[in-house]
A and B are shown apart, each in its own frame.
Chain A
Amino acid sequence: MEKFTGKVWILGDDIDTDIIIPTEYLALPTVEDMKPYGFSPLRPELAGQIEEGDIIVAGKNFGCGSSREQAPEIIKALKVRCVIAKSYARIFFRNSINNGLLLIENDQIQDVVKEGDMLTVTLGESIEHEGNHYPIHSLPDNLMDIINAGGLVKAMQKRNGIIE
């Protein structure tokens, strides 16, 4: 099973799409241009602090709000390895898979982890924090295939599928 370790950033419940990327920056030409403003209404400094491989840990209903696909794209562009939240809003969940952003559901880790802690995730098995293991489920294989390919469009290209 794939295993990775990352540094934790903590966010709360109901992190909405306007927090992930405020409307005023959506007119910028590329996700790279928008990236510095990720999470800016809540924590303006965060986008500059996140490093490749970091992990976001949040509460319930992560990604609620608009269908803007720039939300998962920006988290991916910030090179966040995965988001661990108690639950996800459904449009965001679907958009994340379609953009190859890994989402993990767990409602225990929030009680023990602090910002800056290290977590080790073994996909489909557990999250490890300071020697304790917290179980996680794996996504269905067809969804993991999409994530691993880097998103729905890339998965279609790879499969040489319907769009040829």
Chain B
Amino acid sequence: MGMTIGEKIIAKAAGVKSVKPGDIHTVTLDRMMSNDGTTHLTIDMYYNQLKNPRIADKDKIVFIMDHNVPAENPKTAEAHKKMRNFAREQGIKLYEGQGVCHQIMMEDYVCPGELIFGADSHTCAYGALGAFGTGVGCTDLLYGIVTGQSWVLVPETIRFNLTGKLPKGVYPRDLILTIIGDIGANGANYKIMEFAGEGAHNLSINDRIVLCNLCVEAGAKTGIVEPDDKVIEYVKSRGRNVEHMFISDDDAVYEKVYNYDLSKIQPVVARPDFVDDVIPLKDLGRVKIDQAFLGSCNNGRIDELRVAANLLKGKKVKEDVRFLVAPASNEVYLQALEEGIMDTLMEAGAQIMNANCSVCWGSCQGVIGENEVLVSTGTRNFKGRAGHPSSKVYLASAETVTRAAITGYIESQEEM
């Protein structure tokens, strides 16, 4: 029986020839990532609950501060201090204020064929480079850093065959929200979402990250785009080698197969308070907003910043609307500066934030008040996610968000 990409990666990590869904395997992790959301909890357990603890392999661990950066209150500052000290003591690589963890991982670490655990649910993004990234809690992370290993239950794989190209003004963000709307918030629970076909290969690495990153919002253990020459080119351009690159066998077994013609995808919006409450933008009606946010591990890269700058050139952000922009990393930020994107955004009245999780995390920046409405390129629109429990979050593409910042309304172009 053939295997899917995800099954092959697990087999490699388990040191066995083949695996099948339902098997439980002990695996050696290629890499582990932890951010300031929970690293302090892992460190507390490390020191207080283990006898003679040790780190299995410090070079496989990356700590990234991105959730509450810079610290917004003394409690966070203490948690950061703990993380910094531990990293220094153990010789673990630490990034502070350099960008959102998943973007840093893409830029500096992820290689095809790797099995990576991250103490953050959107770790599933790493499939954009043909890796198996999955989110875990701080206890699983602790077990991983101390033993170098973990266990996995081999998930079933759902295949998404993509054909065609997205129309102008339609983005991978619209595609993945459409898919989540179709299959539901638990439509891929504990499954691998595998994207393949010429439609997938047409997508840039930037676009593939958008796709894989949101798979957890359909409950998936991970999302993987079938890797190709674009992945090799990207990884090599970042100074890394490609050692293992897996594609699915022709006789691989899928739990389900879906076909999506990208040319049929249209702009969509996920309504509050569920990521799978997705409707076409044209059917939404005009929704007045208080704040717009462009950024996050899903949608804060150079492609999205360019979309915003092109739309905002010579225009102004609507009075009474706050438009907050957080680049996904400092590297993205520098590139945007070089291209004059930041000039355009600031001249239009946008507020530029440092590279961090920002509004998407609903804690340290741009929190919204009672009954306020936010349109966002962030990852989630759960009740109270961005601030007060009565506030509302709509998820949409960079184009829809920027247009809303200009007019003050989420609306389709026909309405404008």
Residues of chain A touching chain B, judged by Cβ–Cβ distance below 8 Å, are 14, 16-19, 22-24, 26-29, 40-42, 60-61, 64-70, 87, 89-91, 94-95, 98-99, 151-154, 156-157, 162-164
Q: Are B380 and A153 in contact (CB under 8 A)?
A: no
Kindly list chain B residues whose C-beta atoms are within 8 Å of the C-beta of A28: 75
**One of A18, A91, A152, A163 near B380 (C-beta < 8 A):** A18
Q: Are B52 and A68 in contact (CB under 8 A)?
A: no
- Please give me the 5 A-B residue pairs with the lowest Cβ-Cβ distance, nearest first: A95-B137, A41-B384, A69-B137, A61-B186, A41-B389
Binds A, one of B140-148, B262-270, B338-346: B140-148
Q: Are A90 and B140 in contact (CB under 8 A)?
A: no
Kindly list chain A residues whose C-beta atoms are within 8 Å of the C-beta of B185: 14, 61, 64
Tell me the dominant secondary structure on chain A's binding face.
loop
Contact mask for chain B residues 50-62; partner A; CB cutoff 8 A; 1 contact, 0 none: 1111000000000
Return 25 A-B CB contacts under 8 Å, by A number.
A16-B382, A19-B383, A22-B362, A23-B361, A41-B384, A41-B389, A42-B389, A60-B186, A61-B189, A64-B185, A65-B380, A67-B38, A67-B119, A69-B38, A87-B186, A87-B189, A90-B189, A91-B135, A91-B136, A91-B137, A94-B140, A95-B137, A153-B49, A153-B139, A156-B50
Kindly list chain A residues whose C-beta atoms are within 8 Å of the C-beta of B383: 16, 18-19, 41-42
Q: Are B382 and A163 in contact (CB under 8 A)?
A: no
B328 CB-CB contact with A under 8 Å: no
Q: Are B385 and A23 in contact (CB under 8 A)?
A: yes
Tell me the dominant secondary structure on chain B's binding face.
loop
Q: Are B221 and A90 in contact (CB under 8 A)?
A: yes
Q: Are B68 and A27 in contact (CB under 8 A)?
A: yes
B363 CB-CB contact with A under 8 Å: yes
Distance in angstroms from B81 CB to nearest chain A CB is 14
Q: Are B75 and A64 in contact (CB under 8 A)?
A: no
A18 to B, closest residue via Cβ = B382
Distance in angstroms from A12 CB to nearest chain B CB is 11
Distance in angstroms from A43 CB to nearest chain B CB is 10
Contact mask for chain B residues 127-143; partner A; CB cutoff 8 A; 1 contact, 0 none: 00000000111111011
Taken together as a complex, chains A and B put the C-alpha atoms of A67 and B380 apart, in Å, by: 13
Kindly list chain A residues whose C-beta atoms are within 8 Å of the C-beta of B389: 22, 40-42
Kindly list chain A residues whose C-beta atoms are within 8 Å of the C-beta of B109: none
- How many residue pairs link A and B with beta carbons under 8 A? The number is 124
Residues of chain B touching chain A, judged by Cβ–Cβ distance below 8 Å, are 37-38, 41, 45, 49-53, 68, 73, 75-76, 79, 119-121, 135-140, 142-143, 146-147, 185-186, 189-190, 216, 219, 221, 274, 361-363, 367, 380, 382-385, 389
Also in contact, A164 and B52, with CB within 8 A (given A27-B68, A151-B139): yes
A42 to B, closest residue via Cβ = B383
Kindly list chain B residues whose C-beta atoms are within 8 Å of the C-beta of A23: 361-363, 385
Taken together as a complex, chains A and B put the C-alpha atoms of A151 and B49 apart, in Å, by: 12
Q: Are B37 and A68 in contact (CB under 8 A)?
A: yes
Q: Are A67 and B121 in contact (CB under 8 A)?
A: yes
Known: A14-B186, A26-B363. 13 other contacts (CB 8 A): A18-B384, A18-B385, A19-B383, A27-B73, A27-B79, A60-B186, A64-B186, A67-B119, A89-B219, A91-B136, A91-B137, A152-B143, A164-B52
Taken together as a complex, chains A and B put the C-alpha atoms of A40 and B142 apart, in Å, by: 29
Q: Are A163 and B121 in contact (CB under 8 A)?
A: no
Kindly list chain B residues whose C-beta atoms are within 8 Å of the C-beta of A17: 382
A91 to B, closest residue via Cβ = B135
**One of B68, B120, B140 near A98 (C-beta < 8 A):** B140
